Amino acid sequence: MKLRDLFKRKPKNKWVEEWPVPYKEDWKTEEIHLRDPFIITEGDSYYLTGTLTHDSISDGYGVPLYQSSDLCTWKGPILIVDQAKGFESYSNFWAPEIHKVGNEFWLLVTLEPKGGKRGTYLFISDKVDGEYALKSRVTPENMFSLDGTLYEEDGQKYIVYCYEWVEAHDGQIRVVKLRDDLSIDLSSDKLLFKASDNVFYAKSNFNLITDGPYLYKDNNKLKMLWSTFGIGKGYMLLSATSKGGVLDEWVQDTLVFDRDGGHGMIFETLAGEKKILMHSPNGRNPAKWQFERPFIIPYGEWAEKK
């Protein structure tokens, strides 16, 4: 079967989605409806989180977490951040990521505070599936921003994030230093590149979107997965390469996936294999039983090789 066919398959048995999503111990990967998926491997388990939505991208009710030992069958979701338990004044709950920092687990999630601008917030727990406590906002409060991710270089922690197209018009990917007290150093905030720097496809003059930055090393080069839209191509996953470190010049270099999927990250299986995780398709059509789902491809299996 070709990769392009896999994510278009419909469930064999039609079923009605329950809301809120019930806890089950036998979810198949293709049954889980998540945007912006993210996997962290801890112990002998995989933990999957992402953006949980029902009718719109803003009607989520917390940060879900699923657990699996084989990437095929999952139990969950539990809510590691629950809108009904202390976060009633926040909405969205977009693009959660969990990073292990020392003995702690750092959760980054995009929230929109009532009366304020959307941004990424940091929560910390001593267990990957434990209770997460809110620590700080890690993107500028005066900017509509989203999809913050953590990167550390030479002992300095950075937050790489998107300055949203709804305010910037030409969406941006920016970086800001994270201080030891978990506040951000606004004087360090820097533009890395814009959506219009996408060199692969013609641009429209609207909705120049940047989504989902994720930084990683490949052959000692610093690279970044990120997503946008292309004329005639829809949602896509791209890669950029830095000429040095995170603060240096970034060059757009590779088309990774261009078949209605994106917001990717890289994880390693328990067997030591690298995989790319994204959601695909990007839209949903309940009449055809099509929903955003976690979608995994081998690392390095880029679209340009198809």
User: Taking 60 as the threshold, does the pLDDT of residue 231 lie above it?
Assistant: yes
CATH number at residue 84: 2.115.10.20
144 assigned to some structural domain:
yes
pLDDT at 202: 55
pLDDT tens track for 67-97: 999 999 999 999 999 999 999 999 999 999 9
User: Mean pLDDT across the stretch 179-203?
Assistant: 90
pLDDT at 199: 74
Q: With contact defined as beta carbons under 8 Å apart, do 90 and 111 qualify?
A: yes
d(CA 91, CA 110): 9
User: What confidence tier does 284 reach under pLDDT thresholds 50, 70, 90?
Assistant: confident
pLDDT tens track for 132-147: 999 999 999 999 999 9
132 assigned to some structural domain:
yes
User: Taking 80 as the threshold, does the pLDDT of residue 289 lie above it?
Assistant: no
232 assigned to some structural domain:
yes
Q: Cis link prior to 20 (omega < 30° from 0)?
A: yes
d(CA 137, CA 122): 6
d(CA 120, CA 273): 30
> Which region among 40-54, 190-204, 276-290 has the lowest average model confidence (pLDDT)?
190-204
User: Mean pLDDT across the stretch 225-245?
Assistant: 91
Q: What residues make up the domain containing 51?
A: 3-9+32-305
d(CA 160, CA 165): 16
CA 18 and chain centroid, separation: 24
15 assigned to some structural domain:
no
Q: Residue 39 contacts by C-beta under 8 Å, 6 or more apart in sequence?
A: 46, 47, 48, 265, 267, 277
41 assigned to some structural domain:
yes
More confident residue, 38 or 201: 38
What is the rounded average pLDDT for all residues in the chain?
91
User: Taking 70 as the threshold, does the pLDDT of residue 104 lie above it?
Assistant: yes
253 assigned to some structural domain:
yes
Percent of the chain with pLDDT over 90: 79
> Which region among 1-10, 39-48, 200-209 has the lowest average model confidence (pLDDT)?
1-10
User: Taking 50 as the threshold, does the pLDDT of residue 302 lie above it?
Assistant: yes
> Which region among 176-185, 204-213, 239-248, 279-288 has the lowest average model confidence (pLDDT)?
204-213
pLDDT at 300: 84
pLDDT at 290: 82
User: Taking 90 as the threshold, does the pLDDT of residue 47 lie above it?
Assistant: yes
User: Taking 60 as the threshold, does the pLDDT of residue 161 lie above it?
Assistant: yes
**Exposed / middle / buried, residue 235 (Cβ in 10 Å: 0-12, 13-18, 19+):** buried
199 assigned to some structural domain:
yes
| Total of domains in the chain | 1
User: What confidence tier does 106 reach under pLDDT thresholds 50, 70, 90?
Assistant: very high
CA-CA-CA-CA torsion sign (58, 59, 60, 61)? positive
Percent of the chain with pLDDT over 70: 90
